[in-house]
Amino acid sequence: YDMLQERGYEFVEPKPASEEDLLKVHDADYIQLLKQGAIEDPDTPAYKNIYEYAKLSAGGAILAAKINGFSLMRPPGHHAGRYGAALGAYTKGFCYINNVAVAVKHLDKPALILDIDGHHGNGTQEIFQGDPKVVFVSLHRYPHYPGTGAYSEGNCLNFPLPADCGEAVYLRTLEEALRKVDMQKIEVIAVSAGFDAYAGDLASLGLTEKTYAKIGEMLASFGKPTFFVLEGGYIGENIGKCIDEMLKAFNGH
């Protein structure tokens, strides 16, 4: 936050997402459990007021979608499925509410969700699988947590990659993935912007700041309304650098 503020980025304070927005994505019983703090998950514990924090993070994603911005909010979201843990995963991987899913449902437009987190977005896939308005594309390390995303299913296009595959392999794969999307039908691009594929992070694919700049350039080339939602990334000093490089390149700087 401090580094991005020093570099001149404008920050806007979000409002919490409404329960109506959450229920477009998650089962009512799951939301009730979150409210009550009645969840048992070693990765995703029932911290005090976590439901309120999660609603605020989802609200940040909605605001980013409205203004074509970047939601610098946590907790992240892409492992959270309709009922909590998704597609047979044993935990929710630090995620309570699926922020990018809430934002895409709020917009209700034909969307591409591009997940560049180093882990598969199993919650996002579960929520949107079979949805004719949404194409979900995920590039992720495999085999790795959460153990899903080995193959594509319908509108969910998965591109599993080996550990530390490096920038060249990653960018070739991303180009291949995006060629499979009929961009004429897409009105908005939502990016699950995780940075744990950075070299040495939890899901390292050997990426660098320059890789994220090239991703930004690639996304800008489509000329579509685009917003970004922070997911993973656990080497703090790298996250701001990667965000800055990606957004500068996206904006043509």
Sign of the C-alpha dihedral computed for residues 208, 214, 219 and 220 taken in this order = positive
Cα–Cα distances in angstroms (integers) from residue 152 to residues 162, 177, 185, in the given order = 16, 11, 20
Axis-axis angle for helices 50-67, 99-107 (nearest 10): 50
How far is 150 from 135, CA to CA, in rounded Å?
17
- Buried b / exposed e along 175-200 (16+ C-beta atoms within 10 A): eebbeebeeeebebbbbbbbbbbbee
Q: Which residues are catalytic?
A: 79
Is residue 215 within 8 A of residue 193, CB to CB? The reply is no
Q: Give me the helices (H) in 7-147, please.
A: 19-23, 28-36, 50-67, 99-107, 122-128
Torsion of CA 130, 111, 229, 136, to 10 degrees: 40
How far is 38 from 79, CA to CA, in rounded Å?
18
Residue in this structure with the two tokens 């899913």, named with its chain if needed: 101
